[in-house]
Amino acid sequence: MPGASTCFICRKQAGKEEPPPGGYIFKGKHFAACHAPRELGTAGTMVIESRRHFLDFGEMKSAEGARLTSLLKRLFPAIKQATQAERVYSLAMMDGVPHFHLWLVPWKKDEPFRGVTYLASEHQLPSIEEVELTVRSIRRTLNSS
Domains of the chain plus CATH, in order, are 8-144 (3.30.428.10)
What pLDDT digit, counting tens, does each position of 55-114 carry? 999 999 999 999 999 999 999 999 999 999 999 999 999 888 999 999 999 999 888 888
Quote the CA–CA distance of 95 and 84 in Å, as a whole number. 29
Supply the pTM of this predicted model.
Answer: 0.92
Q: Which amino acid is at 96?
A: G
The predicted pLDDT at position 70 comes to: 96
> Measuring CA to CA, which residue among 94, 100, 84 is closest to residue 33?
100
Quote the CA–CA distance of 139 and 120 in Å, as a whole number. 27
- CA 31 → CA 27, 39, 44, 83, 105, distances in Å? 6, 23, 18, 22, 18
